[in-house]
Amino acid sequence: MKLQGKTALITGATGGIGFEVAKQMGAHGAKVIINGLNKEAGEARLKELTDAGVTAEFYAFDVTNEDLVNENVKAIGDKHGLDVVVNNAGGLGGRSRFEVMTTDFYRNVMALNLDSVFFVSRAAIPYLKKGTDPNIINFTSNAGWNAGGPGAGIYGTSKAGVHAITRALAKDLAEYGIRVNAVSPGTIDTDFHKQIKSTKPEVFQSWAKNIMLGRLGQPEDVAAVVAFLASADAGFITAETIQIGGGQALGI
């Protein structure tokens, strides 16, 4: 996989899928810049990466804060340049049905999942224009296709927005040779499902029965796809959403 010499910024990379993406991209020769909110967790993850021989740095900033994104992406770009941006940061943010949903809850979920993609991508574009085989990879979700379950409707809405902004960015940036794609994971065994895994293990275990391959996905499964999309091996793939796992998975 052709990632040697590339610099990749991976948001929300102090755990779960994001950290596995950093590990795999680093193992294939990329310099990885990991982002997260928790400085202690970030430094611990950074040590894991560097102990494994990966060239890496950690930047702690909130990807929903426009000013902090601009400041930190500029610092990263000025120091290292940028070839790849992986917009992995995101989350459910809790559950609320629309009838009782507060405006603050709505805005927080949209900011975490959609505003962050806009802020980070916009700040990175000037550096990506100067990058080698530059590309952006966004994280959406199967909830973006099926609108999420009860109480997760605004999460599904925000992830559907990521589908749309991926296609829009691809059209906007194609003339500069910047590819833009998205990955849409199904049920992946990470801390995202920690609560239900601990309180309702029988429900968690039953999910595998609705997945065609008969098992839950692992972070490594998703990270392998992201590393491929970031590489020159995927040099003619853009404006695509790759759906990974799930009961109704369709590779696009």
Instruction: Note the pLDDT of residue 71.
Output: 98
Predicted local distance difference test score (pLDDT) of residue 110 = 98
Query: Which positions of the chain have pLDDT values less than 50?
Result: 247-252
Place of tokens 């029988």: 202
Per domain, the residue ranges of the chain are: 7-244
CA distances to 14, 73, 89, 203, 219 from 37, in Å: 8, 15, 10, 31, 20
pLDDT confidence of residue 250: 35
For the domain made up of 7-244, give the CATH fold. Answer: Rossmann fold (3.40.50)
Q: What angle do CA 150, 152, 158 make, to 5 degrees?
A: 145
pLDDT digits (tens, 9 = 90+) for 113-123: 999 999 999 99
> Which string of DSSP letters, residue by residue, matches 188-238?
B-SGGGHHHHHH-HHHHHHGGGGSTTSS-B-HHHHHHHHHHHHSGGGTT--
- State how far Cα 132 lies from the chain centre: 21
What's the pTM?
0.90
Instruction: Report phi then psi at 88, rounded to 5.
Output: -95, -25
Active site residues: 155
Q: What is the pLDDT of residue 228?
A: 96
CA 89 to chain centre: 5
Q: pLDDT (tens digit, 9 = 90+) per residue, 232-243?
A: 999 999 999 998
Six-digit token string for 64: 């929903």
- In this structure, the strands spanning 31-36 and 84-87 are unpaired
